[in-house]
Structure 1
Amino acid sequence: MEEAVLYVVENNIATITMNRPKSLNSMNDGLIDGLHAALDKAVADAEVRAIVLTGNGKAFCAGGDLSYLNGLNGTAERKSFIAKVGDVAKRITTIEKPVIAWVNGVTAGAGVNLMLACDLIYASGKARFGESFAKVGLIPDCGGLYFLPKAIGVHKAKELMFTGDLIDAPTAKELGMLNHVCEDAELKAKVYEMAARLAASAPLAIGLTKKYLNNTALTLDEVLAIEETTQALLMGTDDCKEGIAAFYEKRAPQFTGK
Structure 2
Amino acid sequence: MEGNLQTIHLAVKGKVAYITLNRPKSLNAMNVLMMNELDHCFKHVRKDKSIKIVILQGKSENFSAGGDIKEMLQIDGEQEFYSVMDKIHSIIMTFYRLPQVTLAAVDGAAAGLGLSLALAADYVICSQEAKIAMNFIGIGLIPDGGGHFFMEERIGTNKAKQLIWEGKTMDALQAMHIGLIDETVEDLSEAIDHRITLWLEKPLLAMSRTKEIYTELNREKLQKTLELEKQAQWLVRRSKDHREGIQAFVEKRRPMFKGE
Q: Which residue of 2 aligns with 1:66?
A: 69
Q: Which residue of 1 aligns with 2:180?
A: 177
SS for the counterpart of 2:63 is strand
* Contact 1:25–1:59 (Cα < 8 Å) also in 2: yes
Q: Which residue of 2 aligns with 1:158?
A: 161
Q: Which residue of 1 aligns with 2:78?
A: 75
* Contact 1:132–1:165 (Cα < 8 Å) also in 2: yes
Residue correspondence of structure 1 range 33-44 to structure 2 within 5 A: 33-44=36-47
> Per-residue deviation at 1:2?
7.3
> Per-residue deviation at 1:149?
1.2
Mapped partners of 1:137, 1:21: distance in 2: 26
Q: Which residue of 2 aligns with 1:142?
A: 145
Q: Which runs of 5+ in 1 are unaligned?
A: 219-258
Residue correspondence of structure 1 range 1-258 to structure 2 within 5 A: 3-183=6-186, 186-216=187-217
Mapped partners of 1:197, 1:121: distance in 2: 15
Mapped partners of 1:197, 1:11: distance in 2: 15
> Per-residue deviation at 1:158?
1.3
SS for the counterpart of 1:59 is coil
* Contact 1:122–1:182 (Cα < 8 Å) also in 2: yes
Letter in 1 for 2:185: C
* Contact 1:49–1:200 (Cα < 8 Å) also in 2: no
> Normalization by structure 1: what TM-score?
0.79
Say if 1:34 and 1:50 are closer, same or farther in 2 by CA, change over 3 A: same
> Per-residue deviation at 1:86?
2.1
> Per-residue deviation at 1:216?
4.8
Letter in 2 for 1:205: A
SS for the counterpart of 1:61 is coil
SS for the counterpart of 1:149 is helix
Q: Which residue of 2 aligns with 1:249?
A: none
Letter in 2 for 1:70: L
Q: Which runs of 5+ in 2 are unaligned?
A: 220-260
* Contact 1:29–1:81 (Cα < 8 Å) also in 2: yes
> Normalization by structure 2: what TM-score?
0.79
Mapped partners of 1:80, 1:200: distance in 2: 42
* Contact 2:5–2:37 (Cα < 8 Å) also in 1: no
Say if 1:192 and 1:214 are closer, same or farther in 2 by CA, change over 3 A: same
* Identity over aligned pairs, percent: 30
* Contact 2:24–2:60 (Cα < 8 Å) also in 1: yes
The total of aligned residue pairs comes to 216
Question: Considering only CA atoms, is the larger Rg found in Structure 1 or Structure 2?
Answer: 1
Letter in 1 for 2:190: A
* Contact 2:125–2:183 (Cα < 8 Å) also in 1: yes
> Per-residue deviation at 1:129?
0.8
